[in-house]
Amino acid sequence: MLAAILVNGLVLSGIYGMLALGFALTYGVARILNLAHTAFYMAAAYALFFFLGLMGFAPAALLSALLVLGLALLAYWFFLEPLKEYEATVLIVTIALALLLQEVALLLFGGHFRSVPALLPGFVEILGVRVAQQALLALLFAGGVLLLAWAFLKGTRLGLSIRAAAQDQEAAELLGISLSRAGYWAVGLGALLAALAGLAVAPMATLEPHMWMPPLLVVLAAVVLGGLGSLPGALLGALVLAFAEVTVVNLVPGGAFLRTAVALLILVLVLVLRPEGLFGASFAEER
């Protein structure tokens, strides 16, 4: 049982980590609480399903990621950047965008469950646990993506600019960093991470137009747990929530029905006990 929790927790941590890092980047730099973030994840999974009928997996995945990236940048350019000073309006616009993507998926693909064939069918035994090879591939993929994203943010001039804008926008402007340019890069990188999470999940999950909602709650809880705007905090929050979810599913009778409730419970507890999150600046410091 412990081995099952470890293996499945790592796989889920990778998926949630990509989503949470993208969400935290978008909020930290562009100052947009993007409730459509996981709708991009859903759109990438459906796009992969569609393009696989026309071409092989690699070009289909590449086209799907580029499609979502373009969609996110267009939405930011047309709707979100001009409105980002109005937080309530941005929330309404992003939830409307998520619902629009959901309705488009419903119109194009119907309400039927869809599936994407696994790249690596079959199972292997690890620590006495039977694990799908596709899940291991998803774990390696997520780990590689997160390492590349972190190397980009830590080791490149542009990445340093994005991190500086996420930590302190006034200081970043004084250093000559363009917040507008950093915002576009952060939104693009955030959407790309959401799309890659969707591509990793598609061969393991059932595709349906509402599949973006449960991950959105987990991502919100992860970034609040880690501290809004904190990139390491978002990753740690995703890790904690993934293992909490897998533990409940494996140890609690009927736990599969409680997985979203666990994320919400952790979200509420964090807001009550430590509103600034594990790595966020305290409200007293901000004042």
User: What is the per-residue pLDDT for 188?
Assistant: 95
Q: What one-character DSSP code corresponds to residue 125? A: E
CA–CA distance, 50 with 121 (Å, rounded to integer):
20
Q: Which is nearest to 222 in space by CA: 9, 38, 24?
A: 24
User: What is the per-residue pLDDT for 227?
Assistant: 81
User: What is the per-residue pLDDT for 168?
Assistant: 81
* Contact partners, residue 186, CB within 8 Å, separation at least 6: 25, 26, 28, 29, 30, 162, 165, 166
Q: For the chain, how far is it from start to end, CA to CA, in angstroms?
A: 47
User: What is the per-residue pLDDT for 269?
Assistant: 84
The domain spans of the chain are 1-209
**Tokens 């409307």 identify what position?**
96
Q: Which is nearest to 134 in space by CA: 32, 64, 203, 194?
A: 203
- pLDDT in single tens digits along all 287 residues of the chain: 777 788 888 889 999 999 999 999 999 888 888 999 999 999 999 999 999 999 999 999 999 999 999 999 999 999 898 888 888 899 999 999 999 999 999 999 988 899 999 888 888 887 777 888 888 899 899 999 999 998 998 889 888 888 888 888 888 888 888 888 999 999 999 999 999 999 999 999 999 999 999 899 889 888 888 887 788 888 888 998 899 888 888 888 777 778 778 877 887 887 788 777 777 654 444 43
Quick: pLDDT tens for 101-110.
999 999 999 8
- Beta bridge partners, 125, equal 130
Quick: pLDDT tens for 178-230.
888 999 999 999 999 999 999 999 999 999 999 999 899 889 888 888 887 78
User: What is the per-residue pLDDT for 47?
Assistant: 97
CA–CA distance, 187 with 70 (Å, rounded to integer):
11
User: What is the per-residue pLDDT for 186?
Assistant: 92
- Tokens encoding 13: 């941590």
Instruction: Identify each DSSP E strand in the chain by its residue range.
Output: 123-126, 129-132
